[in-house]
């Protein structure tokens, strides 16, 4: 195998942030009902399932996901960093201190919390580890080659510390430190180690801030 997906398929059972509507995927035309073709009505909030947050998520004048050129969504020096975390812990600067991030353009944190997505969904949604705001600004100031962060948690925001989560998003997007980061949340990072390339492929939606996405990894 040359490629694998690091995103989850979207279904009506996909766990989504508590404040979002549950996805709804309903048959509209069905062959079993005498129609000549099938079609479905799909209603999802754009932050459902594996999705990519762009600056417009938080910043009123921020860049929207459709404003990104394909070149900005392909990463040829990705790193999936082992970063085990328990409930409500934060990924912090100490977690990257001894890591060689020279030239890395996409950094995904594997906390291991992804194992609760199916096993204990309530825990996955309400006890998730977060990324500390301080780490986000540290990365932007000191590792400008990194253009994308991602986690195997429902959000980079810890559900229990929502204010810090908003601050982490703000630090990722605000203009102060050059080009904003993209944030990919709810990634499937199980059983993947070294990857040579990552492609983040958002739904092509006009006008919205962020979008569900497929994430492909080319294996080494």
Q: In the complex, which residues of this chain contact Zn ion (CB under 5 A)?
A: 47, 53
Question: Quick check: 139 and 149 in contact, CB under 8 A?
Answer: yes
Nearer to Zn ion, 1 or 149 (CB): 149
Least Å distance between CB 220 and Zn ion?
29
Residue 177 has φ and ψ, to the nearest 5°, of -120, 50
- Residue 78: is it exposed, middle or buried by C-beta count within 10 angstroms (0-12/13-18/19+)? buried
Least Å distance between CB 191 and Zn ion?
24
Which residue is closest to Zn ion by CB? 47
Nearer to Zn ion, 99 or 208 (CB): 208
Instruction: Label residue 178 left, alpha or beta by phi (over 0 means left) and psi (-120 to 50 means alpha).
Output: left
As a whole number of angstroms, the distance between CA 188 and CA 115 comes to 9
Least Å distance between CB 47 and Zn ion?
4
HEC states along 106-130?
EEEEECCHHHHHHHCHHHHHHCCCE
As a whole number of angstroms, the distance between CA 8 and CA 212 comes to 10
Nearer to Zn ion, 53 or 95 (CB): 53
Nearer to Zn ion, 11 or 32 (CB): 11
Least Å distance between CB 51 and Zn ion?
5
| Parallel/antiparallel/unpaired status of strands 211-219 and 51-53 | antiparallel
Nearer to Zn ion, 53 or 152 (CB): 53
Least Å distance between CB 164 and Zn ion?
15
Least Å distance between CB 143 and Zn ion?
22
Q: In the structure encoding, which two tokens stand for residue 40, read together?
A: 């479905």
As a whole number of angstroms, the distance between CA 174 and CA 195 comes to 29
Nearer to Zn ion, 78 or 165 (CB): 165
């Amino acid at each position: 195998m040359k490629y694998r997906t690091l995103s989850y398929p979207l279904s009506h059972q996909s766990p989504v942030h508590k404040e979002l509507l549950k996805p709804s995927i309903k048959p509209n035309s069905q062959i079993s009902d005498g129609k000549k073709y099938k079609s479905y009505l799909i209603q999802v909030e754009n932050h459902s399932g594996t999705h990519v947050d762009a600056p417009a998520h938080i910043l009123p004048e921020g860049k929207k996901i459709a404003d990104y050129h394909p070149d900005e969504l392909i990463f040829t020096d990705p790193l999936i960093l082992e970063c085990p975390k328990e409930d409500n812990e934060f990924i912090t600067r100490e977690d990257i201190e001894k890591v060689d991030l020279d030239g890395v353009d996409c950094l995904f944190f594997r906390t291991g919390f992804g194992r609760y997505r199916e096993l204990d969904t309530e825990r996955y949604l309400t006890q998730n580890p977060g990324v500390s705001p301080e780490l986000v600004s540290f990365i932007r100031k000191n590792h400008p080659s990194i253009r994308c962060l991602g986690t195997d948690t429902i959000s980079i925001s810890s559900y229990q510390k929502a204010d810090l989560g908003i601050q982490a998003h703000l630090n990722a997007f605000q203009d102060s430190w050059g080009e904003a980061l993209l944030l990919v949340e709810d990634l499937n990072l199980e059983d993947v180690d070294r990857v040579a390339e990552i492609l983040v492929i958002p739904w092509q939606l006009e006008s919205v801030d962020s979008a569900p996405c497929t994430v492909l990894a080319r294996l080494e």
